[in-house]
Amino acid sequence: MDGEWVRLGSDGFPRCWWGAGPDPDYMRYHDDEWGRPMGSDHRLFEKLCLEGFQSGLSWLTILRKRENFRAVFAGFDPELVADFTQADVDRLLGDAGIVRHRGKIESTINNARRALDLIEERGTLAAYVWAFEASELHRPPDQTSPIPSTSPASVAMSKDLKKRGWSFVGPT
């Protein structure tokens, strides 16, 4: 527990510094989701969209609204979200249970359409995403340095997604 990265949580279990605080939403996210491989296209699409909504906000804000996001964005099923219309955008802008940012809402709909293109090309969104992970150099992190917010793979994937017409998909 001497490293900068790991701290004992309020429940006595070791966690990354950001997941060790008293907030149960962060602890649950850290313990059950963060850093775990994901192969579901819906969950990957959700994660990409929620990361876009998080831009400029805290991840905790997004975690606390995640169930509302799932409900209003059809479980982040790209086929369903791709069919959203201007009426859906207007409906979502009026929903206090999510982040009401027109650009981010419209981006999610656009990205659903782009996700369908990727699924048609690669078979699954997961196949596309994991191709970038496979190219990443894996070496043990320096436990005394801050956790990097980007990686060569995340930069490459963000650049490729933007080239394919995606928006709100930065490398962080």
Residues tagged active-site: 29, 51, 59
* DSSP for residue 13: -
Count other C-beta atoms under 10 Å from residue 149's C-beta.
Answer: 9
Q: Is 23 exposed, middle or buried (0-12, 13-18, 19+ CB in 10 A)?
A: middle
Q: Are 140 and 168 in contact (CB under 8 A)?
A: no
Q: Which helix (H) or strand (E) holds 110?
A: helix 102-122
In this structure, which amino acid lies at residue 33? E
C-alpha angle with apex 24: 19 to 25, nearest 5 degrees?
80
